[in-house]
Amino acid sequence: MAVPSEVLIEMAKPIIHHRTSEFEEIFAEVREGLKYIYDTTQEVFILAASGTGAMEAAIANTLSRGDKALVVNGGKFGERWGKICRAYGLEVEELMVEWGHAVDPADIKKALDKDSSIKAVLVQASETSTGVMHPTKEIAEITGKRDDVILIVDGITGVGVFPLPFDEYGIDVLVGGSQKAFMLPPGLSFAAMSEKAWKFNETSDLPKFYFDFKAALKSAEKNTTPYTPAVTLVIGLAEVLKMFREEGRENMHKRHATLSLAVREAMKAIGLELYVKDTPSTALTTIVAPPEIGSGKVIKALSEEFGITVANGQDQAKGVIFRVSHIGDISKTDTLTMVAAIESVLNGLGYKFDFGAGTKKASEILSKA
Ligand SMILES: Cc1ncc(COP(=O)(O)O)c(C=O)c1O
């Protein structure tokens, strides 16, 4: 993951103490910046944990022992929602979705209509293991009509990537992570809570201490955290949020949409199949490697010949797909280089295609952006 040099420079400066007015000023700035990127008037909590920590905190701060949760499981991270819920003793109903496909909101409505004991719907805005974008807005329209059901969204590869306006959509808890669109090293995660989620919090009896949002809110209002924050990362975050303001939320969304479109169309132009046909996330593109080659060889060649890192598929998609990221500090230059490198390694691996067609396609799309 590339961290912009401006951010690295800020993080390399001498460390400051967190119980000082200097740090509180930075924290105040960060609070406002997070509200901007979440598009909310609610507090956005900063947790010293990777994304999974905020996923766990979202559950622990809203639900209660014995509650039933409806989990959308269409990939590794959907599966993780189920695992966390079970670890907290919740009853889990999994809505299984075929990998590479988005959940149908009608299935969520059906499940909620059938079982009034369901207290929460948990979903990924962008399922990073498959490259699918789930329909958060449509799901929020369903949960928004029910006072007794909250919507918990994992936006770890969604916040800052495509529109997820927290207040407007009516999301109840939205989780983000530092090492994705936030262009930071791993170690921070974020979460916002709606009024409805706070109502759930009043009666929530799941164990919580370090990630207790009530304590976090009390401290945040004084521009601090209940326990020692990850000072260096918060300082980096302040710089990142400045960059976000400069670019603007909508332009960020547009940038990710353009870069992902360029890669998808380029891959089609060289005869490769996209793993997600109808509902691709703009955070990443998942590409089916030529079956006679397999994705492992493509990934290895990209790394060895070009120093480019792309990820393999997981579980059933391992060796089948490779995953190209568009989030973080990724430019048009990086994107075009990526496409050209994919063509080069595929050619080297003996794949027969219209060599150069992908780079041409990507460059056409990027030239109009
Ligand atoms: C959609 C999604 N959810 C959850 C996670 C888990 O986050 P972490 O590994 O930061 O705990 C990731 C990480 O890649 C992710 O992409």
Instruction: Residue 193: name the closest of 32, 61, 49 by CA.
Output: 61
Strands (E), the chain: 44-47, 68-73, 91-96, 118-124, 126-127, 132-133, 150-154, 173-177, 189-193, 273-274, 284-288, 311-312, 321-325
**192 neighbors 166 (Cβ within 8 angstroms):** yes
Q: Ligand 1 pocket test: which of 1, 47, 77, 162 has the largest number of ligand atoms within 8 Å of its C-beta?
A: 77
Q: How far does CA 168 lie from the centroid of its chain?
A: 19
pLDDT in tens, 153-195: 999 999 999 999 999 999 999 999 998 889 999 999 999 999 9
pLDDT in tens, 217-254: 999 999 999 999 999 999 999 999 999 999 999 999 99
- Residue 274 CA to ligand 1 center (angstroms) comes to 22
Q: Ligand 1 pocket test: which of 130, 157, 179, 309 has the largest number of ligand atoms within 8 Å of its C-beta?
A: 157
- Predicted confidence at residue 181, as pLDDT, reads 87
Ligand 1, atom nearest to 52 Cα: 11
What does the mean pLDDT of the chain come to?
Answer: 97
CB count, 10 Å around CB of 108? 24
- Predicted confidence at residue 2, as pLDDT, reads 79
- Residue 66 CA to ligand 1 center (angstroms) comes to 26
- Residue 153 CA to ligand 1 center (angstroms) comes to 12
pTM: 0.97
- Residue 154 CA to ligand 1 center (angstroms) comes to 8
Place of tokens 């290895």: 300
Cα separation, 231 vs 9, in Å, equals 14
By three-state DSSP, how is residue 57 classified? helix
- Predicted confidence at residue 28, as pLDDT, reads 98
Q: How far does CA 42 lie from the centroid of its chain?
A: 19
Instruction: Residue 135: name the closest of 173, 164, 95 by CA.
Output: 164
Q: Whose CA is nearest to atom 5 of ligand 1?
A: 51
Q: Ligand 1 pocket test: which of 52, 182, 326 has the largest number of ligand atoms within 8 Å of its C-beta?
A: 52
- In terms of DSSP bridges, do strands 150-154 and 273-274 run parallel, antiparallel, or are they unpaired? unpaired
- Residue 234 CA to ligand 1 center (angstroms) comes to 19
- Predicted confidence at residue 1, as pLDDT, reads 66
Instruction: Residue 255: name the closest of 310, 331, 156 by CA.
Output: 331
**Percent over 70 (pLDDT), the chain:** 100
Cα separation, 49 vs 137, in Å, equals 27
Residues within a 6 A CB radius of ligand 1: 50-52, 77, 124, 128, 154, 156-157, 177, 186
Q: Whose CA is nearest to atom 16 of ligand 1?
A: 128
Task: Provide Rg for the chain, Cα atoms.
Answer: 21
CB count, 10 Å around CB of 144? 17
Could you tell me the pLDDT band of residue 369, with boundaries at 50, 70 and 90?
confident
Q: Ligand 1 pocket test: which of 128, 161, 178, 327 has the largest number of ligand atoms within 8 Å of its C-beta?
A: 128
Cα separation, 116 vs 165, in Å, equals 27
Strand partners, 122: 71, 152
14: left (phi over 0), alpha (psi -120 to 50) or beta: beta
Cα separation, 255 vs 261, in Å, equals 10
**185 neighbors 3 (Cβ within 8 angstroms):** yes
Cα separation, 185 vs 263, in Å, equals 25
**137 neighbors 169 (Cβ within 8 angstroms):** yes
- Residue 364 CA to ligand 1 center (angstroms) comes to 33
pLDDT in tens, 65-111: 999 999 999 999 999 999 999 999 999 999 999 999 999 999 999 99
Angle at 84 between CA 142 and CA 318, to 5 degrees: 95
